Structure 1
């Protein structure tokens, strides 16, 4: 960390939170580069329904199950504590998943917490170990088809639907200049 412990902790907190946010965004978009950037190659994960090495997790998440059509991870607070040379972080998450059940699509939502052990190597903080805790789960039933619009009003353009890969936010950020955005 830094010579000033308060400043060092503030910077570490910022970098840990940025890592968690980048990972959630990468998972929602099935963006392998963003997912890989959040973990050390020797990391381990345990989601209760899946446990393994980073490589096994990566193969599970990217490109993701074809049955999981859309995801959205909303992150809550992140509590961070130093633990020797590591940082321990707990981040609350609410995650939406649209799942193709074969005969119908269903919307599910879960609430839980990521327990992450971060290690700093070569000046970077990344996840060395992740465990998922589940606090609640809700099955909202058969999905509504909102692909053509919402609340009875059609979309003016196909860029407004959120998709697991190739959504409009990629073009939004790639443009870089407000004058060129549509």
Structure 2
């Protein structure tokens, strides 16, 4: 192998490693949102992180607090990321990540199944060896709101282990957190 081939192979490996780390960063964001895990959520942002999430525009710090504070109108949530596209340039990157958010919310005394589809348009930075979110813009592409058909406590569903929006969620036992 010559030096050009080695450099190309190393560059390719660095791109693959960065894209895998960015995928994990987005998976952790979903986990932090669904479990209201403030410590995890804080670790995902640069100190000067910015967000445009509709009602939250500007510093990510108020968003982190709001996203990880119990909300009695939000019973359950599930964030699923997919179709991740990243362009990496050294210790910076940009990305477009599709997301579907499924929630059970309480509105006017009734439970509503809410589905939201959109994308995160992101700028990332690698700091101290870790990829973080420097800027996130949520683009709302579609939504559906229907009377809830969730059946969590009856029949066969009563026997399943239930997820929670806090550190009592069974996943914390698995990961030892």
Unpaired stretches in structure 1, ≥5 consecutive residues: 176-182
Equivalent position of 1:153 in the other structure: 156
Unpaired stretches in structure 2, ≥5 consecutive residues: 1-6
1:167 aligns with 2:174: no
TM-score by length of 2: 0.86
1:61 aligns with 2:67: yes
Aligned equivalents of 1:85, 1:174: Cα separation in 2: 31
2:50 to 27, 34, 44: 44
Aligned equivalents of 1:122, 1:173: Cα separation in 2: 24
Aligned pair count reads 168
Equivalent position of 1:9 in the other structure: 15
TM-score by length of 1: 0.84
Aligned equivalents of 1:85, 1:156: Cα separation in 2: 47
Deviates more, 1:124-133 or 1:52-61: 52-61
Aligned equivalents of 1:172, 1:81: Cα separation in 2: 33
Aligned equivalents of 2:157, 2:81: Cα separation in 1: 30
Aligned equivalents of 1:84, 1:167: Cα separation in 2: 37
The secondary structure found in structure 2 opposite 1:155 is: helix
Q: List aligned pairs for 1:87-102, cutoff 5 A.
A: 87-102=93-108
Aligned equivalents of 1:59, 1:22: Cα separation in 2: 16
RMSD value, Cα: 1.9
